[in-house]
Amino acid sequence: MLGHPLESGRMFHKVLVANRGEIAVRIIRALREMGIVSVAVFSDADRASLHVRMADEAEHIGPAPSAESYLRSDRILDAAHKHVADAIHPGYGFLSEDASFAADCEQAGIRFIGPSSAAIRALGSKIDGRRIAVRAGAPVVPGTNAPAESYDHARIIAHEIGYPVLLKAVAGGGGKGMRRVNSEDQLEAAIRDARSEAERAFRSGEVYVEKVVENPRHIEVQILGDEHGNLIHLGERECSLQRRHQKVIEECPSPLVVQHPEMRAAMGEAALKIARAAGYTNAGTAEFLVDANRNFYFLEMNTRLQVEHPVTELATSLDLVHWQIRIAAGEPLTLRQEDIVWRGSAMECRLYAEDPDANFFPSPGLIDTLTEPSGPGVRLDSGVYEGWRVPIDYDPLLAKLTVWAVDRPTAIARMQRALSEYRVGGIRNNIAFFRDILDDPEFCGARLHTGFIAEFMERRTARSPSPELDIIVALAAEKHYRERRPAQPNNGAASASGWLIEGRARNLQ
């Protein structure tokens, strides 16, 4: 190991990955590249999972339900001690934004690869996040910086802000406990609903009031900070394509920022001000809403590595997980802001075991055949393999397909090509759904906003072609082709078209 480029007195020898699926695989890959031993943890449902196969060491941490395994900080810390790990990478979800877990790691002398527990705690409350942003001089949506104490209090505030307003849970996230209120007569019932939903989801019924930003874009900024006071941003990601608060396709750069390049530095500076005010270290993401006039407003800070980090990695040629590990080990960020350059266009599709034709119902089960895309500009972060059974117990994200190309239209064509190579047999998946979105004129025209997917679904149903008709057309084309070229010798080149047409007819069935 002598002379390893990352070798220093403080670099970790062994890291435990407190996660599963594609993100555990992603982190294990980074550890291997850095010469660090990896430890996987797994539940009963994940004994045969890819992350367990790929890690150097592995430890069983409990039954399938995440509350009894991946959320059990005590068992994860026991596993870290048993394997003598120096640090824990939490990935996303599970314990990644749990300030108490980060504190427990700090207490146990194990580095938590992420921000300090204090920063996670401060930014975990949406109101405290707003207060930090206001103090730092970053724009926030007009609203209150304290929970609404009573109906009368909320009524006065909403009147001042002006309808429509949004009630949001202080401890919130993911749209839970959020209620739009168009006029004062709806307010009382909305407060009751928002409170009880927030109480159930977050065990805190506190809500606050914000002005509604109509049909916003959701654009977020990636930041990196070290433990020596250096802080940089890696630009934005366009995340407006969401369905029920689940992102569907993400891009870097944002097409809006391509049209208005000054937005990148403006949003980047706002994100850095907030991070500085919060004493933020490691990787983080500042979420913004952007209105029709291109005003942007800070929403919240995500204090973890995000699912969609690959688009930033492809556009900047940086490895965020390497940097997370180096920063946690105390190394200085050797990148300066002026070193960061963005090139081309990156786009990510999240492949789910779900049925888009049945209201996106999860579709776990055996993957009986799997053909994966590759080739120029294609990156696949997958957590599955052929012959593996997708468990019902977790989020059904199978893989992320990310492409890079010189510009957005070329990236769209490349994503279409990669999706056309992808076959996942035995379970339902959303590959065809992506192909339809990438074909959509509104998407290709980059007219993106948070209501896009809902409107797209409407358009799609409205022009709903008869599947039977598609099959008839394809079969007629096949017949026509056969009759027109009757006596081709059966060499590879001549049969290719036949294969293609036969394949098309089959795909339509």
Q: DSSP E strands: which ranges in 430-485?
A: none
Q: Closest CB to ligand MV4 among 295 and 495? A: 295
- 256 near ligand MV4, rule: CB under 6 A: no
Which string of x and - marks every residue 87-126 that binds ligand MV4 (by CB under 6 A)?
----------------------------------------
Asked whether the bond before 164 is cis by omega within 30 degrees of 0, the reply is yes
Task: Give the count of alpha carbons within 13 A of 265, CB side only.
Answer: 6
Neighbours of 338 (CB within 10 A): 7
114 vs 121: CA distance, rounded Å: 12
Residue in 212, 271, 286, 403 binding ligand MV4, rule: CB under 6 A? 212
Residue-by-residue DSSP string for 92-113:
SSTTTT-HHHHHHHHHTT-EES
For residue 165, the minimal CB distance to ligand MV4 (Å) is 8
Task: Give the count of alpha carbons within 13 A of 342, CB side only.
Answer: 21
- 242 near ligand MV4, rule: CB under 6 A: yes
- 166 near ligand MV4, rule: CB under 6 A: yes
Q: Closest CB to ligand MV4 among 230 and 246? A: 246
Stretch of 41-49, 80-88, 189-197, 209-217 contacting ligand MV4, by CB under 6 A: 209-217
**By CB under 6 A, what part of segment 57-86 binds ligand MV4?**
none
384 vs 367: CA distance, rounded Å: 8
At residue 22, the 3 state secondary structure works out as helix
172 vs 194: CA distance, rounded Å: 11
Which string of x and - marks every residue 443-482 that binds ligand MV4 (by CB under 6 A)?
-------x--------------------------------
- 289 near ligand MV4, rule: CB under 6 A: yes
Alpha helix (H) residue ranges in 110-229: 117-124, 126-136, 151-161, 187-202
For residue 198, the minimal CB distance to ligand MV4 (Å) is 13
For residue 350, the minimal CB distance to ligand MV4 (Å) is 15
Residues with active-site annotation:
304
Return the closest-CA partner of residue 301 out of 106, 88, 121.
121
Q: Are 301 and 274 in contact (CB under 8 A)?
A: yes
For residue 178, the minimal CB distance to ligand MV4 (Å) is 6
Stretch of 108-116, 211-219, 273-281, 347-355 contacting ligand MV4, by CB under 6 A: 211-219
Return the closest-CA partner of residue 102 out of 332, 301, 271, 282.
282
Q: Closest CB to ligand MV4 among 175 and 503? A: 175
List, in order, residues 6 or more apart from 229 with CB less than 8 Å away: none
Q: Is the dihedral of CA 260, 262, 268, 269 positive or negative?
A: negative
Classify residue 243 by burial, with Cβ atoms within 10 Å: 0-12, 13-18, 19+.
middle
Q: What secondary structure letter does DSSP report for 173? A: B
Q: Closest CB to ligand MV4 among 297 and 434? A: 297
Q: Closest CB to ligand MV4 among 25 and 209? A: 209
- 141 near ligand MV4, rule: CB under 6 A: yes
- 245 near ligand MV4, rule: CB under 6 A: yes
3-state helix, strand, coil in the chain (%, to 5): 40, 25, 35
- 438 near ligand MV4, rule: CB under 6 A: no
For residue 25, the minimal CB distance to ligand MV4 (Å) is 27
Stretch of 91-99, 204-212, 309-317, 478-486 contacting ligand MV4, by CB under 6 A: 204-212
Q: Closest CB to ligand MV4 among 54 and 289? A: 289
Which residues would be at the binding site for ligand MV4 (CB under 6 A)?
141, 166, 173, 175, 210-213, 216, 218, 242, 245, 289, 299, 450
